[in-house]
Amino acid sequence: MSRLKVGVIFGGACEEHPVSVKSACEVAKNLDPDKYEPLWIGITSGGEWRLCDSPVAGWEYRSRPVTLSPDRSVHGLLVKGQDGYETLRLDLVLPVLHGKLGEDGAIQGLLELSGIPYVGCDIQGSAVCMDKALAYIVARSAGIATPNFRVVTENEKVDPGLLRYPVFVKPARSGSSFGVSKVTRADELASALNAARQYDSKILIEEAVAGSEVGCAVLGELFGLIVGEVDRVDLSHGFFRIHQEDSPETGSENSTFIVPADISDESRQLIQEAAKTIYRALGCKGLARVDTFLTEDGRVVLNEVNTMPGMTSYSRYPRMMAAGLPLSEVLDRLISMTLHGRKR
C-alpha cells in the first residue's frame, strides 16, 4: 500500500516561529515512516515558503521555493525548479503552526481554497478561539465561567484609576504569553498596554483569577471526545511564559508541570467535562488544549484555548495525552479522522 503524502507546514511569520519549528521536529520523530511520506514545508520568519528534507536546524538554507496552490486541480504544491514549476499532490496537510496566521483561520482559509484536507480546527473555530474576547463570550453562553474583562481598541484611552488590580493586559488575538503583562498598580498600566499593542490592535484587560492554573488536552474523534490527564502549572513566581525562555527543554525558570494534577478526582472530572463543553461550544475539531483556572471554591474558569497546541519535548499537550496515547498514536488518529471525516 502506498504511503500517504502528508504536507507538514511549520515555522511561520510570527513570534511563535521558533516554537513551531521545535514542534515540527517532535512530529518528525513520531510520524510512522511506513504509513506516511512527509513533505516538510517551512515558512521562514520573513514569510518565504520552502520545501526541505526535514525541520532540523538550517532547513532554510537546504530547501527550494514552494507554493501551496489554491487551485483545486493541483491539490498540493508548486515546487520551483530550473525549468519552471513541478506539482506535488498532497493527501493531507498537518499545519504545525502556532499563533497568528497559524491558529487564527488564515492557513485554514488557504487550505479550504486548495481543497486539501487538513488536521485541526476549521476557519470559524480557529478564528473564534484565537480571539480571547470572542471565546469568552461564546463560552459564557455555554455556561462556562470566564474572567471579567474589557476590550480596549487601538487608540482608546484607559483611566487606570477605574480598574481593580491586579489585572492582566494581553493581546486579544495572539498566541502564548507574548505581549502579556500582569499589572498590580495603576502606574504600570500604560507600559503594559504598549507592550500588548506590539502584537495586536485589540487588547484585553481582564481580572486576575485566584486559583490554580490547570489544563486539559482534548482529542476529537468521529464518535466522541477523548480527554487526557489534567495537568497543573506550579509557579514559583510571576506567570506562565515558558515559550519566551532561553532553554525551556532543560526546565522552566518559574514553572513546573504536575501531571496528573494533584487535585481531587471530583475536580479532575469537573475540569475534563468543562474542557469538552468548551471544545464543542467553540467549534473545535481534531485537537485542542483547554487552559482553565480551578478556584478555591471549586469553580472552573476559562483561560484560553489553543487549537494547535505545542508538540515540543516540553509541551503540555503530549504530556497530558501520554498516559493513554503516545504522540505517534495521537498523530495517527488525527490523520485518520481528518481523511475519514472528509469522505463522509
Amino acid at the residue 9: I
> Active-site residue 22, yes or no?
yes
> Active-site residue 47, yes or no?
no
> Active-site residue 19, yes or no?
yes
Determine which one of 314, 316, 317, 319 is catalytic: 314
Classify strands 4-11 and 92-96 as parallel, antiparallel or unpaired.
parallel
Determine which one of 7, 16, 17, 98 is catalytic: 98
Peptide bond into 160 cis (omega under 30): no
The answer for residues whose C-beta is within 8 angstroms of residue 57's C-beta and 6 or more apart is none
**Helix 17-30 × helix 327-343 angle, to 10°:** 90
Determine which one of 17, 173, 243, 268 is catalytic: 243
Question: What is the spatial distance between Cα 88 and Cα 69, in angstroms, rounded to a whole number?
Answer: 10
Q: What angle do CA 8, 9, 15 make, to 5 degrees?
A: 140
What's the order of all strands across the beta sheet hosting 181-183? 149-152, 203-207, 167-171, 181-183
Residues 59-66: contacts with CB under 8 Å, at least 24 apart:
59/21, 66/41
> Active-site residue 249, yes or no?
yes
The DSSP string of 201-221 is SSEEEEEPP-EEEEEEEEEEE
Q: Which residues of 228-243 are buried (b: 16+ CB within 10 A; e: fewer)?
A: bbbbbbbeeeeebbbb
Determine which one of 19, 74, 227, 290 is catalytic: 19
Q: What is the grid cell recorded at 188?
A: 504600570
Question: What is the spatial distance between Cα 99 and Cα 114, in angstroms, rounded to a whole number?
Answer: 22
Determine which one of 58, 61, 157, 249 is catalytic: 249
Instruction: Let me know: does 225 contact 201? Beta carbons within 8 Å.
Output: no
Determine which one of 50, 170, 289, 319 is catalytic: 289
Instruction: Let me know: does 169 contact 149? Beta carbons within 8 Å.
Output: no
- Cβ count within 10 A of residue 324: 13
Determine which one of 76, 99, 179, 310 is catalytic: 310
> Active-site residue 310, yes or no?
yes
> Active-site residue 132, yes or no?
no
Catalytic residues: 19, 22, 98, 243, 249, 289, 310, 314
